[in-house]
Structure 1
Amino acid sequence: MSTGTRVLELLGLLQNRRHWPSHELARRLSVSQRTLRRDIDSLQELGYPITATRGTGGGYQLSPGASLPPLILSEDEAAAIVMGLQEITSGPSPTSADAALSAMAKIVQVLPVRIRRRIDSLRAVAVPARNPEARVGITDVASLTTLALACRDTETVEFAYRTRTGQTAARTVHPHHIVRAENRLYLIAWDLDRADWRTFRVDRVGDASRTGTTFAPRSLPADDPIEYVRARIRAMPARYPVRATVGAPAERVREEIAHYGTVEPIDDTSCRVEIAADSLDWATFCIGALDAPVVVHGPPEAIAYMRAWGRRLTAASVTRATVFRGAEPGGADPEQRTRRKHAPPQAPGLPVAPLRQRPAPGCMAGEG
């Protein structure tokens, strides 16, 4: 075994166990104690923080260093990698989770303390148990980390916040908790300028900085921070209050709509649904995904938008006859050829009437 290969194997052993007795390392590598010490010195010269202990039970272990070992990673990249591995570790695949956990342990083992604190601070992010495979888009890791640290240390924080109208305003808050809800991250904080509780979308926060001033934490006016954020979201005026009647039992529809809207029974086989949304895309998806007859009552923008969806989906179902004309004998799909075969005789030169397509289920046509 060459010296380089042996040193790499030594590094792998040190990463796989917290502490190695020196005689055990020497035995595993089939080298003398003297050669082992030279290899340890080589790794230390490369920047790996290896600590040696003497006496009975003495040996070697990797320790947190003052800087990253030469992995060609910035501190932000190292933190991002560990955060990503944490996501995989909690994922549905046992094989991937085990590998991610092993890799994460090796990286965290040699991270400087300041980076460990940044990663540990993200444990303050509350994630609801439902839908564990949903992922949150994090656009500014530095701001998220700053907010999480300030939540943990009860420290006043300042940041620039982009409102729903696109305007940016400076905010100074006492951060309480970071919550994941509706596939977004929200900061719950006491706004010093408004003297009241506020929720902020983390993806709209920029230039977050800690002031160094600590505060006495207030009690949140709710037992569950996640439900508190959801209640605040529902209380906000939505751009489109979409109302519809669904031909299915309220209990079944409520399971599918979940907390994205309200469901009220009409009778045993139908119910009323209302979804308050800023995006017609989202409301259309929620209603269109219901496997039941639907009639949308308003607002007019929603009716027109969903009708357009229905037309596009209907057109997509007959595109084959037009786009792939000539792909099969006769220049039409089998259904069209069968219809033409059994159609009544027509005058020469008159076109055959196209097939009439029913609207796709759930893509509804609005009232009236």
Structure 2
Amino acid sequence: MSETTGRVLQLLGLLQSRRVWSGEELAGRLGVTTRSVRRDVDRLRELGYPVHASTGHGGGYQLGAGAALPPLLLDPEEAVAMAVCLRVAAGGSVAGVGESALRALSKLDQVMPARLRSQVAAVHDATVTLGAATDTPVEPDVLMTLARASRDHEHVTADYVDIRGNVTQRRLEPYHLVTTGRRWYLMCFDRDRVDWRSLRLDRMSQVRAVGSTFTPRDAPDAASYVRRSISSSPYPYIARVRYFAPHDVVAQAFSAASVHIEPEGPDACILTAGADDPERMVPWLAMPGCDFEVLEPPEVIEAAQRVAGRIARACRT
């Protein structure tokens, strides 16, 4: 790196660290004249950094906001602090933050020296969070590997424990990571099963990007696909229920991760959900507090009749 290039990067770091610098302050920090500072400021402007200059009391050089976010320079301590915060945010419960934090963490991890990466891991390993949003912790390295592989269209191999406890080896094309706030899922194409799959990250181990890449396929919408998969496919009984209330009213009674709801006109909707036990499912289906009709399957219809009979007898007693 030339002396001039190094000085320009140092100037950029100073401008990012404080709101306003006078020309004399910058010259003193960089060990050059104010004329050299003006030249270096012009070089930053040519690179697209909006550096504003003002005169008079309180004036000086200031890095402004541009149409696009310019690259940031971070010293080692700042990089470690940012990575630690992003790891926390990636597993948090704030709507819309988790996946964005994961993408940012993936970019930062890619360029972070091994020494700093180990510092971040040490802080993370020594930290315990009370009231964590996720009930099934996921290893940060698994998140990072899958995030990069999804971005770069890279093949992945992994061991996976299915709902019955069987361990299988998977060869995957990863497309999207989806979080429900409680769990992380990978929407991917399973090369051996020749079909799309939604896999829980906490059930994955030995996750490895193999280096080869794939051509992206026409993929289903990730959020809709995962929502359908986790609300019905793992269960032996899949119920379809018509509610005589608007979609928005019914949706407030259920977790978005546990059901799939489709509007049926302005005053009705159809809910699809799965369960292991039909009778335990019936009180749960009554949660919206409005009239409803179980459409299928027969096991859930019969369970609703039995539960209704018990409640009627309890009321007479």
TM-score norm. by structure 1 comes to 0.46
**1:275 and 2:273 matched:** yes
Compared CA separation, residues 252 and 179, structure 1 to 2 (3 A): closer
> Hey, what does 1:172 align to over in structure 2?
171
Compared CA separation, residues 13 and 152, structure 1 to 2 (3 A): same
> How far 1:142 moved relative to its partner?
0.9
CA contact (8 A) 1:64 1:111 kept: no
CA contact (8 A) 1:153 1:214 kept: yes
C-alpha distance in structure 1 between counterparts of 2:200 and 2:172, whole Å: 14
> How far 1:146 moved relative to its partner?
0.4
* Residues 17-36 of structure 1: pairs in structure 2 closer than 5 A: 17=18, 23-24=24-25, 33=28
> How far 1:112 moved relative to its partner?
7.9
CA contact (8 A) 1:176 1:187 kept: yes
> Hey, what does 1:81 align to over in structure 2?
85
> Hey, what does 1:226 align to over in structure 2?
223
Gaps of 5+ in 2: 1-12, 42-62, 64-71, 118-131
**What's the C-alpha RMSD, in Å, of the aligned pairs?**
5.5
Compared CA separation, residues 273 and 209, structure 1 to 2 (3 A): closer
Secondary structure at 1:164 match in 2: coil
Secondary structure at 1:194 match in 2: coil
Whichever residue aligns with residue 164 of structure 1, its letter is I
CA contact (8 A) 1:242 1:302 kept: no
> Hey, what does 1:184 align to over in structure 2?
183
> Hey, what does 1:47 align to over in structure 2?
none
> How far 1:157 moved relative to its partner?
0.9
Whichever residue aligns with residue 198 of structure 2, its letter is T
1:255-288 CA-to-partner distances (Å, cap 9, x unmatched) read: 44576155898xx8x9986632358899578535
CA contact (8 A) 1:243 1:298 kept: no
C-alpha distance in structure 1 between counterparts of 2:261 and 2:249, whole Å: 10
Compared CA separation, residues 112 and 169, structure 1 to 2 (3 A): closer
CA contact (8 A) 2:157 2:169 kept: yes
> How far 1:163 moved relative to its partner?
0.5
C-alpha distance in structure 2 between counterparts of 1:264 and 1:20, whole Å: 58
Compared CA separation, residues 152 and 294, structure 1 to 2 (3 A): closer
> Hey, what does 1:336 align to over in structure 2?
none
* Residues 48-127 of structure 1: pairs in structure 2 closer than 5 A: 52=30, 54=32, 56-57=36-37, 63-64=73-74, 68-69=76-77, 79-85=83-89, 113-114=111-112
> Hey, what does 1:289 align to over in structure 2?
287
* Residues 260-339 of structure 1: pairs in structure 2 closer than 5 A: 260-261=259-260, 275-278=273-276, 283=281, 286-287=284-285, 289-292=287-290, 299=300
CA contact (8 A) 2:160 2:170 kept: yes
Whichever residue aligns with residue 205 of structure 2, its letter is G
Segment of structure 1 superposing worse, 17-26 or 207-216 = 17-26
CA contact (8 A) 2:156 2:208 kept: yes
CA contact (8 A) 1:244 1:272 kept: yes
* Residues 240-255 of structure 1: pairs in structure 2 closer than 5 A: 240-241=237-238, 249=245, 254-255=250-251
> Hey, what does 2:233 align to over in structure 1?
236
> Hey, what does 2:149 align to over in structure 1?
150
Compared CA separation, residues 202 and 91, structure 1 to 2 (3 A): closer
> How far 1:175 moved relative to its partner?
1.2
C-alpha distance in structure 1 between counterparts of 2:276 and 2:84, whole Å: 31
CA contact (8 A) 1:288 1:364 kept: no
Secondary structure at 1:190 match in 2: strand
Whichever residue aligns with residue 113 of structure 1, its letter is V
Gaps of 5+ in 1: 1-11, 27-32, 37-51, 93-100, 119-133, 308-362
C-alpha distance in structure 1 between counterparts of 2:110 and 2:270, whole Å: 56
C-alpha distance in structure 1 between counterparts of 2:202 and 2:279, whole Å: 20
Compared CA separation, residues 275 and 367, structure 1 to 2 (3 A): farther
C-alpha distance in structure 1 between counterparts of 2:151 and 2:82, whole Å: 21
1:214-242 CA-to-partner distances (Å, cap 9, x unmatched) read: 2222221x3x2212223344562523445
C-alpha distance in structure 2 between counterparts of 1:138 and 1:147, whole Å: 15
- The structure with the largest alpha-carbon Rg is 1
CA contact (8 A) 2:159 2:169 kept: yes
C-alpha distance in structure 1 between counterparts of 2:154 and 2:241, whole Å: 46
> How far 1:161 moved relative to its partner?
0.8
Compared CA separation, residues 210 and 239, structure 1 to 2 (3 A): same
Secondary structure at 1:200 match in 2: strand
> How far 1:143 moved relative to its partner?
0.4
1:297-332 CA-to-partner distances (Å, cap 9, x unmatched) read: 96499779x97xxxxxxxxxxxxxxxxxxxxxxxxx
Secondary structure at 1:151 match in 2: helix
Compared CA separation, residues 174 and 53, structure 1 to 2 (3 A): farther
Compared CA separation, residues 80 and 278, structure 1 to 2 (3 A): farther
> How far 1:211 moved relative to its partner?
0.9
C-alpha distance in structure 2 between counterparts of 1:233 and 1:252, whole Å: 20
Compared CA separation, residues 154 and 303, structure 1 to 2 (3 A): same
CA contact (8 A) 2:178 2:184 kept: yes
C-alpha distance in structure 2 between counterparts of 1:199 and 1:299, whole Å: 26
**1:211 and 2:210 matched:** yes
Q: How many residues align?
A: 236
**1:193 and 2:197 matched:** no
